[in-house]
Structure 1
Amino acid sequence: MSETTTTDLYEVTMALSYVRERMTEPATFSCFVRQLPPDRGFLACAGVESALSYLSRYHIRLDDARAFAEALGRPVHDLMPLVGMRFTGTVRAVPEGRVALAGEPLMEVTAPLPQAQLVETCVLNHLSHQTMVASKAVRCVLAAQGRAVVDFSLRRTHGTAAGLQAARLAALTGFAGTSNVATARALNFPAVGTMAHSYVEAFENEEAAFTAFARCHPGPVTFLVDTYDTESGVAVAARVLRALDRADGSAVRLDSGDLQELAFRARAILDAAGLPQVRIVASGGLDEFAVHDLVSAGAPIDVYAVGTRVGVSADAPHLDSAYKLVEYAGRPVMKLSSAKVTAPGRKQVFRRPGCVDVIGLAGEPAPPGSVPLLRTVMRSGTRCASPLPLEEARRRLAAEVADLPPAARKIRSPEPVRASLSEPLTALTAHVRRRIEREVFGTYRAAHRGRITG
């Protein structure tokens, strides 16, 4: 399947009309999230790197034109003006691993209008999905309060591509490892995994299963102990680990039931067996809310394996994201639709300590004590620099999250940090609004004056 044809049809219909009308002047589109989902005090920006990779490869070929023509029910000849088109624009973006707030542009794309329009669908998909998952994942790290968190999401993400992204975002947000072998290998990120209940069931009893597993795999092992009875399983695991002298670095995994109560009982069994060094891993429907509750209760769990609910961001499975035109041919534009008003012009986000942000115009001076977030990452369709090393992005995200107000970091009922607008942006917004109201509504009133007053 072509990346180029992986788009919404209306992108093609608009682009074709722009080309026909010779509307090919530079246009700037801004990608942002209007409102944060419930129980989110901030976002973790992600997806920029894959969006840039997509833009750098963008190329409409003859086969793509044929696909567009078929979808439109038109002859291929009508689509030929698009053939050969590549993305030649400039991109400014918030680098991955930065905290982002509602209303702030994550990325601004400036390119000839047809190009900037055609790439909307995929750019918005990359940024929306990955920012959504990263924002939930980093909250799991917050909830764990220093305990290890690992990614077990691949089996139930919405497609394997989404699973690969989720594992990469786990690495970005501070996880200790992933079960996803492909991502672990690609990123030099620890691969983690234990066994399934089917493995235990295949043997005559738990002792035979645990012994065989330990003999097959040198070094530390993790035994899944809740196939039949959790407390009995922990006792069998302790016996096998002692018999094989494999306790150091090894663990037992709890995957069902009352994890808080079972963790206390498992810890007591292991300690009574003289195995205080054996860790407890918990899994099974966990996300930041469950992790928070377990940590708050003092459950003796050393590693939290989160999967489905994080990989699909179950409680907030989408972002209220948008990709909106803010400037065309040097003319600032805005949308006035009810509840969906946009601010005109190319923008910049100025950050002060504590993520006290000001959204301003791209050309205005930075307020005292602030730094601009959006950087030019692509010019003339070519990346300006190599991708930021993931470890560096990971450290930066951890530092920015730590710098947030405590109320924004709360797991339940956080208080979102809100950005303010600069005076120049506020003034431009008012000016453009007046211009639109004068030109659009004035024309409407003139056309209907007789009908209205008659």
Structure 2
Amino acid sequence: MTDPALTLDPRSARVLPPALFTDLYQLTMMHGYWRAGLHEQTATFDLYYRRNPFRGGYGVWAGLGDAVTFLERARFTPADLAFLADTGLFPDDFLAALADWRFTARVDAFPEGAVVFPNEPLLSVTGPLWEAQLVETALLNILNFQTLIATKAARVVGAAASSPHGGTVLEFGARRAQGPDGALGAARAAFVGGVTSTSNVLAGARYGIPLAGTHAHAWVESFPSELDAFRAYAALYPDATTLLLDTYDTLASGLPNALTVARELQARGHALRGVRLDSGDLAYLSRTVRARLDEAGFPDVRIVASNDLDEFVIESVIREGGRVDIYGVGTRLATGGGEGGGALGGVYKLVALNGEDRMKLTGDPAKASVPGLKRVWRGEGADGRLVGDVITRDRQTPRAGEAVSDPTNPLRRITLPEGASWRDPRVTVMDGGERRWSEPLEAARERARTDLQRTPEGTTRLLNPHLYRVSLGAALAEDRARLMEQLRARMGGT
């Protein structure tokens, strides 16, 4: 029998991590819950983040497809249980219970590709306590990383599209990504965020992402001359050739040789597809190369630029008059690097147990969790633009004129506008442990594109973006304040 933890899921087409992909304390807590007879209590956990990545104005929600696949297939195999037995931490009766463990909970979440914001429940798990507890690590790992990369991709794609001449982005960060799985997750998330293609062949095979690539400097260095290398590559791919110009000298050698090959291809009924710049002053070089290509009668040859690009470098190239058509973005995209990047600080907090509110109080009011079963409401104005999100109790809806408050500062209040329509953007993606939601990756990509267009003016600005409002409904804010006081009194605080 095939190990279910190592099978390829037909929807995600990737090798799934096993149930052991968790932190040790999840298992020790599960053991404690089980031993105390608490493991089947109905718990609700909310997953959210507190600050937008990259000091930006939004996040792009990604990784949900992979997360649901993990939850569907998570099992403790005989080998897993043997390993846990060898640790000496878990008795045989608990390991026997784990042999039958399955994820049977309900999961409600924003659909993948949605534009999301801090302090709102992006995903909620409701089910037996020990099930919801175990999956915390995997959910945060998958969703934090892919949301980070999808957000970075959206920023980079937005910067490239700001050029009056247009511009697209391809992802090629596999060589600098955090391991093979990181490279796959990054390629997937970057596609959700708006890139057009990837250089990662395995990601193309598994996710259906279009592939793109040129050749390396080593190709040019392996031939007697640069022209010989260009001719050989063009002979292999006469209708799909992009030539790398900067192995020796971009303008004095690379471009003249590329023009020679372009003319030879044209004479044979083919066309040079593009040229690539990988070093130097990209704004100046791309302007110069564009002018010479046009003068030579090749206006359709596209210019590809690479070399440690991110949204700020791309914006600078465009501002200085660069004529780049395609930006190849690697390290700073696949790793989520750059200012304000590195990791998304998503958290996963218990908010209800057996129908009763639960709350992390903490010494920092801004980090106190929001208790109870909740709904998220997204407001739209008459023009279709988003006006803000409101979190309410499960059966309540926002009302025009209602005073709502910031989750991190109850003194910061706004009044909900007249004329806004409100809808709950979240969907039930799993129920009873079975998938209730599935869509192609292209649908998530399109959702991200349209959601970004509907955000308030300034939200997508790279620096000092507009602050999109996420608020607590009045009743929920009052219940939260009341529970805070009760907990402080119970614990002897003031």
Aligned with residue 126 of structure 1, among 124, 136, 142: 142
Q: Aligned runs of 1:5-404 on 2, under 5 Å? A: 5-23=20-38, 24-145=40-161, 146-231=166-251, 232-245=253-266, 248=271, 250-315=273-338, 316-339=341-364, 340-353=367-380, 354-355=385-386, 356-367=388-399, 369-385=421-437, 387-404=438-455
Cα distance in 1, alignment partners of residues 189 and 272 from structure 2:
26
Range moving further from structure 2, 364-373 or 162-171 = 364-373
Partners of 2:58 and 2:309 in 1: how far apart? 21
CA positional deviation for 1:244: 2.2
- 8 Å contact kept, 1:347–1:362: yes
Q: Distance in 2 between matches of 1:270 and 1:291?
A: 22
Q: 1:408, CA displacement in angstroms? A: 1.5
Q: Is 2:115–2:448's contact at 8 Å kept on the other side of the alignment?
A: yes
Q: Between Structure 1 and Structure 2, how many residues are aligned?
A: 442
CA distance in structure 1 between the partners assigned to 2:45 and 2:301 by the alignment:
53
User: Which whole-Å CA distance do the structure 2 matches of 1:162 and 1:299 have between them?
Assistant: 32
CA contact (8 A) 2:53 2:344 kept: yes
Residue in 2 that maps onto 1:449: none
Asked if the contact 1:128/1:319 (under 8 Å) is kept, the reply is yes
* Alpha-carbon distance in structure 2 between the residues aligned to 1:249 and 1:352: 49
Contact 1:253 1:281 in 2 (8 A): yes
Structure with higher helix content? 1
The equivalent residue for 1:451 is: none
Q: CA deviation at 1:161?
A: 1.3
Q: For structure 1, which segment, 365-374 or 271-280, has the greater mean C-alpha deviation from structure 2 after superposition?
A: 365-374
d(CA) in 2 for partners of 1:92, 1:132 = 20
Q: Deviations over 1:24-77 (max 9, x none)?
A: 210001000012234311000011111111111122344323323333545544
Q: CA deviation at 1:236?
A: 0.9
Over residues 130-189 of structure 1, what are the superposed CA-to-partner deviations in whole Å (9 max), with x where a residue is unaligned? 000000001111101141111111111101111112222232222221111222233433
Shift of 1:200: 0.4
Q: Provide Cα deviations, 1:233-274, integer angstroms capped at 9, x if missing partner.
A: 011101111122177461110001111111112122222322
Distance 1:71 1:373, change over 3 A: farther
Instruction: Give distance in 1, aligned partners of 2:71 and 2:395.
Output: 25
Shift of 1:388: 1.6
The answer to whether 1:435 aligns with 2:486 is: yes
| Cα distance change of structure 1 residues 199 and 295 upon mapping to structure 2, 3 Å threshold | same
- C-alpha distance in 2, partners of 1:278/1:90? 52
Is the 2:287–2:321 Cα contact (8 Å) retained in structure 1? no
Partner Cα separation in structure 2 for residue 249 and residue 215 of structure 1: 11
Given that 1:348 and 1:373 are in contact with CA atoms closer than 8 Å, whether structure 2 keeps it comes out as no
Paired position in structure 2 for 1:422: 473
Q: 2:55 aligns to what SS in structure 1?
A: coil
Post-superposition offset of 1:366: 4.9
Aligned AA (1:108): S
Q: Does structure 1 retain, via aligned residues, the 8 Å contact 2:262–2:272?
A: no
**1:408 & 1:425 partners in 2: Cα distance?**
26
Aligned partner of residue 491 in structure 2, secondary structure: helix
Once the two structures are superposed, what CA deviation does each residue of 1:403-422 show, in whole Å capped at 9, x if it has no partner?
A: 11232211233233231111
Contact 1:247 1:277 in 2 (8 A): no
Q: Output the aligned Cα RMSD.
A: 1.8
TM-score by length of 1: 0.93
Moved more, 153-162 or 320-329: 153-162
Q: Bigger shift: 411-420 or 315-324?
A: 411-420
Greater CA drift, 62-71 or 172-181: 62-71
**How far, CA to CA, are the matches of 2:27 and 2:222 in structure 1?**
54
Q: Is the 1:5–1:68 Cα contact (8 Å) retained in structure 2?
A: no
Among the aligned pairs, what percent are the same residue? 39
Q: Contact 2:197 / 2:212 at 8 angstroms: preserved in 1?
A: yes
CA contact under 8 A between 1:110 and 1:116: conserved in structure 2? yes
AA partner of residue 486 (structure 2): R
**Mind listing any 5+ residue stretches in structure 1 that lack a counterpart?**
446-454
CA distance in 2, matches of 1:422, 1:371: 14
Amino acid corresponding to residue 104 of structure 1 in structure 2: E
Deviation at 1:363, TM superposition (A): 2.2
Aligned partners of 1:115 and 1:41: how far apart in 2?
Answer: 34
Give 3-state SS (helix, strand or coil) of 2:221's partner: helix
Q: Is the CA contact 1:61–1:84 (under 8 Å) kept in the aligned structure 2?
A: no
The runs of 5 or more residues in structure 2 that have no matched partner are: 1-5, 7-16, 400-419
> Structure 1 stretch 368-377 or stretch 199-208: which is displaced more?
368-377
Match of 2:411 in 1: none
TM-score relative to the length of structure 2: 0.86
Distance 2:226 2:371 in 1: 65
Q: 2 CA distance for matches of 1:395 and 1:114? A: 36
* Aligned-pair CA distance for 1:375: 1.3
